[in-house]
Chain A
Amino acid sequence: KAGVTQTPRYLIKTRGQQVTLSCSPISGHRSVSWYQQTPGQGLQFLFEYFSETQRNKGNFPGRFSGRQFSNSRSEMNVSTLELGDSALYLCASSLARTSDNEKLFFGSGTQLSVL
């Protein structure tokens, strides 16, 4: 069974640009979550999608958005990039996130550098 796939692996952008990151979950997994990882802040939750609907959202500005498609693949978009958006963006999938012990399976992440 293939794992969680994130593309691209690395991305370099300049301030003010926008970026779209992609995540393909494990087959059969319907929940996709996104996290931002930085050395200073650790792992910060961005949002979670289930059945094409945003079910949970973290404390990030509206420049960060996402969506999920009918095949459970998800994309996240960051508009008007700032230097502080440089981070590793991780996607995690799980079956349904409706039980107490839903395990998360993470992709390898997209390393975004904003110059």
Chain B
Amino acid sequence: GEDVEQSLFLSVREGDSSVINCTYTDSSSTYLYWYKQEPGAGLQLLTYIFSNMDMKQDQRLTVLLNKKDKHLSLRIADTQTGDSAIYFCAEGPKSGGSYIPTFGRGTSLIVHP
């Protein structure tokens, strides 16, 4: 199976909270990342969490990490239409291996009025 899995689509109403989920397989990953890709653009690093943390908050973004279940989530509070994009979860680096992060296939977030 894939190293990093995400659901493909999420639709929310403007003003609501969005929660994007991700599962990963490598428990040795030191960092877990969330990247955002807007239409016609490359990926932009949104936030990241160190593997020994449970939660990280950054303005409207909250990252939750459950190491036991290898589950990562990104919560966007007060979601706006400008948050519509593809969100990628990534893990890395592999213990003793390269520093190439492994990306999920991305979750398309659609925000409607």
Contacts and interface: CB of A to CB of B under 8 A. Distances in A.
Interface in A29-72: 33, 35, 41-43, 45, 48, 55-56
Overall SS of chain B's interface: loop
Interface in B41-70: 41-45, 48, 50
Given A104-B43, A108-B41, A42 B100 contact: no
Contacts of B31: 100-101
A90 interface: yes
Interface string A80-115: 000000000010100001111111111111000000
A6 B93 CA distance: 26
Interface in B84-109: 88, 93, 98-101, 103-106
Interface range, B side: 20 to 34
Contact of A108 (B30, B40, B99, B100): B40
Contacts of B101: 104
Contacts, number: 53
A4 interface: yes
14 contacts: A4-B42, A42-B103, A48-B98, A48-B100, A55-B98, A56-B98, A56-B100, A92-B42, A100-B93, A100-B99, A103-B48, A104-B101, A108-B40, A108-B42
Interface of B: 30-31, 35, 40-45, 48, 50, 88, 93, 98-101, 103-106
